[in-house]
Structure 1
């Protein structure tokens, strides 16, 4: 930060020449991060002038950088009191507020500083950065205008001024500024006409063209791109822009020429093929077939045209094309072959063709060693396929039947492949996946661990193994596996948190929720929320960097990304988990949860209670050991950090407030905490029904009628037949009928909307029982809808839940959604008390019925064991090589 340009006029605030030189050194020491020297210089000044405001402020700024926040703030405030008219003290106060991430307060401080020194470039630049960070676009435009007037000769002044208009949508003014700036650029020397401009000028031209295109000036944009084509380095982006402009102007023949060149450049980019179809206006299947035949002939090694043609081909043509595609994949041994054709499984006719071809290939490869039946069976002349073709066919068949839900056949083919080739990692990984789809997460984790042991240097397999152990709720083992690729002498959990490994934090949050450790689950959700807040704050460093380096198009993309960063699926999933847990904590405070555990122990037999107590004790010991490891790792980390900070030139990093799981679990106002996650969900993930369902649940408990109504309207707009929408509507209808409402305007508005929902006719409300019965009749073949209807039956008559339980526990093969996931959710809801108090015999009966349909699912087993007669996977592949190739029994890695 520069020293003041003019000495202040307050008495005692103007330093003599010697102390003024010391103050300049103090500022320089701060800028060079030599904090100890800066403090020493500050003390020397304050010995003679203890009330010098600017020195006190600078001392506070240095102390803040060293982590002494309270002492720093005290010094800065004293500096302001002693010299309130100095722009330096206000600038320092703004810097302190910015370091505390209080951007609004920092902007106010900068504006105060500008009142004292209106033409300070440093303050104006800092203010502009905060304004664009906070998206104060009007203020940003004014500040950039001031900077432009003060420094019209700087490139950044022109670009920042133009961008301020661009972001506000004033494209004409932005283009006018950019064009004036372009005219000031030096032309190419006549002696070197072929010499291009530098890359920064190329980026400027692309940005100028972007503004023209966003303004809808397509002809001007095309003329601009043609004029400056030789000055633009990024030829790929240039070609794509020209294609887009030609298409918008209806010049399809020129667009086609560009697309043909793009395909020649990268014939695996499917986007170019779709663009070519659009350019040629191809809607007829015959025309598409002819086009792709020509493309496949021209690019015989390209996979993209072959894959795209499978989408529209049918009948015999499809059978021939998919046959050649699959054969090529089996011959080459492509592990991702199934993933590349999985989109075809949405069409039942194509699935039948694929199934028939696979059966034929398996028979012929087994008998004759070829995909097709030899023309002369007794004396075949066809060359045999590679020996690995059968292996990859078996691997594909396992994936094929697993996707179709035939678990037994999937196991049959994967076991056959494993017995022939017991050292292929992909086979072990997919067998684990089959167990996962069957609901046996314990055995799935053990098989994935076997795959990881075959290739310990593969990070992808290690991540998969970690995820599978977390799905099996074996958190301690998952951390040990993940620790193979984390930093030495540090806790794996701490390292992964520092690296912002969000998939891991999501999985571990879900594992803790399944284990009913709600505090730990919430801690991970809050950590993910903190990551996204860091993403938003990290953009601060790029506001000045991007203007300086002229990466303007990328900068605009970054601003758009940051504006919607919280619609990312990682944040959405974490927020949903957090809101669900907070609702659970509101309905069942932690003390009640503890009482439930004690009741469960009381209802158990002595032997089962002893086993459970031993299990809980061992689990507690493991957690204590893990916490001790984390404490020790944190201690070593702090020592190392202190050692590095002995060097005066490095700024000490201030540790963020620790998130304590116990405090989160025992929060006083769970619904208010839930709003912290719910609000971003509603702002950025409003196209998901689950968002508004969770919103309704929170507002229902807070008795916010209009907000509940808003959630209902949005749910209906997204999916009127959704089972959760029905249950929410019935709860709202009953609440409106039972609760008195004093505000007539709100009552009128609600009545009008309920008429639109069809639950109010004239001046009378329909009965909840009547609407629920009609809903059941309309969705009699859906188990998901029956489950929500049962909750409404319980809401109508809480004292008698027998009928609701019988209704929801009925299993029938005619249900369209009677699957493992649906029944697991119903079983968990029954265990958590969402259907009222249930007798243990009723719960056991449902568990046994589901266990017969899904015998491998851990959730329906008291002691999870594999129903297949297969041996447990060993710690290495030696037993497989010696003849043990089989499946995997359930293992406990706890």
Structure 2
């Protein structure tokens, strides 16, 4: 949206030299009009004619600068605007134009100063006041916004936007009584005008907003009376019912709340929130009460899935077995691909998982033997033809069993079931997709990518499968292939990477950053993190246009929700993950800065001769030159394309966007001040992701390197507050104690303050060595805690790193969190030298031990990944010739898939999540 132009009706002058002749004055009005209509060429021509007669006319110079700014000539525009101000310091037009320029550069503080200076020259300018109010709400200067809206209200009391904006300024400041009084006066004035005319959607939105202010002010009785009085005028009946339910619950009118909730359930039987609210409304606490309620609801709504799923949460024993059995049977018969996802929440209970495992195996045996879910002994009259299940029932049961065993970590059984399903139905896309997921969980990302690509080839028109294939290729660090696959759904003739960036496709950028980090291309990874950060900044900037639009269109409740969303925008998981990755990389670059020769390093450099090393370096330089040349060609092509687009739209007034500084990977991975760059990402994390323990851990690591003692203490206190058993809290605390001991503080006041704070974090009568030994004994069955204890051992005695590494690399089935992800991180850290010098043999031994636990994982394998093709003679996993045929006799079948270290299912599933 183009910036609002200065008013052309009043042109203030301070002296005779700034007054225009009538002809030039008319011409100046045309300049303003041409700017409004985005006819920039005509505007520049008209301004040039004025300046021939009056070369020092400040307002014309300012307007010319504003037009030049819209055409992308920033420096020339700023020069003209400054000259305009210099020639006419008392002109509100010049200062207003300067504010518009600063606003276009996103320098909102400077723009606000310029607007306020313009108001000193013309205090009753509606245009300037309106622009100032938009900037104040954008910057959340709520007190200033209230004052500006008050002035607008006084100047234009007949406009609806004046009333609403004035009331909203009090609402956002928390003065609900004043906001309600303004809204009520406005409603009365509208009621006088709407004597016979029917109210419209805008009035309905106004009433909902008025009720929202009452609820925010905790005036629940008044809000209920209000909603009842104007119920017929509110057109959004669903929102109306939900508001009434909420008010009845707050006022303890449970009978009325129950009536509304049952109506809402009748309207949408799959909304689980309504069912949970009904439980709360009826004050149900025992399982028997809930069982009766949900049995009645299931009888009333037999086709609804939500009450059946909720009932499974509190049922146990035989009732649970019957309920889950009927639910699963219906899912197998209907062929529901998401059946496992709908019952996965039950897998936190070992008892329920055993029941599900026993039932599904019984169904499998009966389907193979009798063609039904039940055996002959369960049917007195035998099996009738109409009772025989179709072949698809067995297919979806196999699919479910593959998901079941994959979730339990039994990759072998999961693969056999999915292979048999593919053998029987080789054209079903979901089967190949889940087989790829099995390989992903097993650590074979290369095979997973190949399988997902095969699934994508079965349905090339499915965007979801295309995105999944792209993600799997990125996880396999095959970035070029991922771009090629993603390009099948991008704009033709454009670079897939640039198009996805333009579309703000952040999941792609985030996965790309992870792939680049895995390849040790830290510059490219940081580039993607910065791009994601810019997207979120654009989200914040984009709200600017809605400040006036929402008031004009009366979408007031949605506007308030948008403001709340924007205030916490950087708490989104995409930003959090990108920021955490960026901070981790900057910390690594601070500890180990990259040199100019780092790009020439090779993992096998130690085994190369001098001539081979020279050839290898030359080959890498040629490869880098080719990549750089191709990149430059692409950049040049994109530049020419954009220029051609601009030339085509030059006459229709398309404005230049703010040009961001180009992100160059080589510069990003060699920052002058890595910790300052890390703070750029860490600050939003501390503001919007305080509930994340990783935020405070990263904060401690940054402040530790900057020697910010009080900030380190703050991070330690927050980590302990959220989770005192957090493994990284231990290593951070002892690292801080070691720092205080090794570098005594000279400031006595700071030393006393730190000593007082430390008393709340640990017992002073224990040494660091003893605390670490106690920590190891207390968490002897946790690999994550062992990692942090190892870091402390190295901190205390760096020369004894061999003993520490031996302690770390000892694997034990009794570890509750000995999963692929944790062991992979240890292996990568050993190779990177994070635990000091480590022999090649030690790393190889650890790799070999991990390979035994995860034989399919690429990271621990010495041979390239190969996906085994499905053999047509493959024996089914349930046949007599199968090596696992004995595993289908319950209950021993379940014991074969749950090993000793998997008894604690909750911790096991947390480890399996990847």
TM range (shorter): over 0.9
Whether 1:131 aligns to 2:123 is no
SS at match of 1:216: coil
Q: How far apart, in 1, do the equivalents of 2:612 and 2:811 lie?
A: 30
Q: How far apart, in 2, do the equivalents of 1:422 and 1:864 lie?
A: 26
Q: How far apart, in 2, do the equivalents of 1:715 and 1:189 lie?
A: 59
**Per-residue CA distance 1:49-94 (angstroms, 9 max, x = gap):** 0000000000000000000000000000000000000000000000
Structure 1 runs not aligned, ≥5 long: 874-879, 888-894
- 8 Å CA contact 1:456–1:462 kept in 2: the answer is yes
Q: How far apart, in 1, do the equivalents of 2:689 and 2:784 lie?
A: 23
Rate the CA distance shift 1:636–1:78 in 2: closer, same or farther, 3 A: closer
- 8 Å CA contact 2:685–2:695 kept in 1: the answer is yes
- Alignment-derived partner of residue 245 in structure 2: 243
- Alignment-derived partner of residue 846 in structure 1: 846
Q: How far apart, in 1, do the equivalents of 2:387 and 2:395 lie?
A: 18
**Offset at residue 621 of structure 1 (A):** 7.5
Whether 1:143 aligns to 2:148 is yes
**Offset at residue 198 of structure 1 (A):** 0.5
Rate the CA distance shift 1:232–1:608 in 2: closer, same or farther, 3 A: farther
Give TM-score scaled by structure 1 length.
0.94
- 8 Å CA contact 1:751–1:760 kept in 2: the answer is no
Whether 1:447 aligns to 2:451 is yes
SS at match of 1:255: helix
- Alignment-derived partner of residue 463 in structure 2: 459
Whether 1:43 aligns to 2:45 is no
- 8 Å CA contact 1:159–1:178 kept in 2: the answer is yes
**Offset at residue 253 of structure 1 (A):** 0.7
**Offset at residue 863 of structure 1 (A):** 3.1
Whether 1:120 aligns to 2:125 is yes
- Alignment-derived partner of residue 164 in structure 2: 159
Whether 1:737 aligns to 2:741 is yes
Rate the CA distance shift 1:620–1:324 in 2: closer, same or farther, 3 A: farther
1:278 pairs, out of 280, 296, 304, with: 280
SS at match of 2:799: coil
**Offset at residue 631 of structure 1 (A):** 2.2
Rate the CA distance shift 1:672–1:716 in 2: closer, same or farther, 3 A: same
Q: How far apart, in 1, do the equivalents of 2:38 and 2:311 lie?
A: 62
Whether 1:651 aligns to 2:652 is no
Q: Which moved more, 1:395-404 or 1:588-597?
A: 588-597
Q: Number of matched residues?
A: 870
Structure 2 counterparts to residues 518-533 of structure 1, below 5 A: 518-533=522-537
Q: How far apart, in 1, do the equivalents of 2:389 and 2:200 lie?
A: 55
- Alignment-derived partner of residue 824 in structure 1: 824
- Alignment-derived partner of residue 333 in structure 1: 335
- 8 Å CA contact 1:523–1:659 kept in 2: the answer is yes
2:605 pairs, out of 601, 608, 625, with: 601
**Per-residue CA distance 1:598-623 (angstroms, 9 max, x = gap):** 68512458999799879967974884
Q: How far apart, in 2, do the equivalents of 1:662 and 1:466 lie?
A: 26
SS at match of 1:757: coil
1:400 pairs, out of 396, 404, 407, with: 404
- Alignment-derived partner of residue 32 in structure 2: 27
Q: How far apart, in 2, do the equivalents of 1:280 and 1:607 lie?
A: 82
**Offset at residue 663 of structure 1 (A):** 1.1
Structure 2 runs not aligned, ≥5 long: 878-914
SS at match of 1:776: helix
**Offset at residue 770 of structure 1 (A):** 1.4
Q: How far apart, in 1, do the equivalents of 2:818 and 2:200 lie?
A: 63
- Alignment-derived partner of residue 892 in structure 1: none
1:72 pairs, out of 64, 70, 77, with: 77
Q: How far apart, in 2, do the equivalents of 1:860 and 1:510 lie?
A: 19
- 8 Å CA contact 1:489–1:633 kept in 2: the answer is no
Q: How well do the aligned residues superpose, as a CA RMSD in angstroms? A: 2.2
- Alignment-derived partner of residue 907 in structure 2: none
Rate the CA distance shift 1:155–1:118 in 2: closer, same or farther, 3 A: same
Structure 2 counterparts to residues 1-12 of structure 1, below 5 A: 1=5, 2-3=7-8, 5-12=10-17
- Alignment-derived partner of residue 487 in structure 1: 491
- Alignment-derived partner of residue 768 in structure 2: 768
Whether 1:351 aligns to 2:353 is yes
**Per-residue CA distance 1:106-161 (angstroms, 9 max, x = gap):** 00000000000000000000000000000000000000000000001110000000
Q: How far apart, in 2, do the equivalents of 1:422 and 1:632 lie?
A: 46
Rate the CA distance shift 1:615–1:394 in 2: closer, same or farther, 3 A: farther
- Alignment-derived partner of residue 297 in structure 1: 299
Rate the CA distance shift 1:714–1:376 in 2: closer, same or farther, 3 A: closer
**Per-residue CA distance 1:359-397 (angstroms, 9 max, x = gap):** 000001111111111345894226111210000000000
Whether 1:675 aligns to 2:679 is yes
SS at match of 1:813: coil
- Alignment-derived partner of residue 63 in structure 2: 58
- 8 Å CA contact 2:104–2:658 kept in 1: the answer is no
**Offset at residue 594 of structure 1 (A):** 1.3
Q: How far apart, in 2, do the equivalents of 1:96 and 1:46 lie?
A: 21
**Offset at residue 753 of structure 1 (A):** 2.0
Structure 2 counterparts to residues 298-447 of structure 1, below 5 A: 298-374=300-376, 375=378, 379-381=382-384, 383-447=387-451
Whether 1:509 aligns to 2:513 is yes
- 8 Å CA contact 2:14–2:88 kept in 1: the answer is no
- Alignment-derived partner of residue 178 in structure 2: 173
Q: How far apart, in 2, do the equivalents of 1:564 and 1:136 lie?
A: 16
Rate the CA distance shift 1:592–1:645 in 2: closer, same or farther, 3 A: closer
Q: How far apart, in 1, do the equivalents of 2:573 and 2:61 lie?
A: 47
Q: How far apart, in 2, do the equivalents of 1:817 and 1:451 lie?
A: 32
Whether 1:564 aligns to 2:568 is yes
2:221 pairs, out of 219, 222, 228, with: 219
- Alignment-derived partner of residue 548 in structure 2: 544
Q: How far apart, in 2, do the equivalents of 1:339 and 1:616 lie?
A: 47
SS at match of 1:687: coil
**Offset at residue 638 of structure 1 (A):** 1.8
SS at match of 2:33: helix
Whether 1:806 aligns to 2:809 is no
SS at match of 1:85: coil
Rate the CA distance shift 1:705–1:189 in 2: closer, same or farther, 3 A: closer
Q: How far apart, in 1, do the equivalents of 2:875 and 2:582 lie?
A: 43
SS at match of 2:16: coil
Q: How far apart, in 2, do the equivalents of 1:419 and 1:697 lie?
A: 52
- 8 Å CA contact 2:68–2:77 kept in 1: the answer is yes
**Offset at residue 468 of structure 1 (A):** 0.4
**Offset at residue 652 of structure 1 (A):** 3.7
- Alignment-derived partner of residue 697 in structure 1: 701
SS at match of 2:798: coil
Q: How far apart, in 1, do the equivalents of 2:469 and 2:876 lie?
A: 20
- 8 Å CA contact 1:473–1:515 kept in 2: the answer is yes
Structure 2 counterparts to residues 660-671 of structure 1, below 5 A: 660-671=664-675
Q: How far apart, in 2, do the equivalents of 1:470 and 1:317 lie?
A: 45
SS at match of 1:760: coil
- 8 Å CA contact 2:164–2:551 kept in 1: the answer is yes
**Offset at residue 502 of structure 1 (A):** 0.3
Q: How far apart, in 2, do the equivalents of 1:446 and 1:319 lie?
A: 39
Rate the CA distance shift 1:596–1:584 in 2: closer, same or farther, 3 A: farther
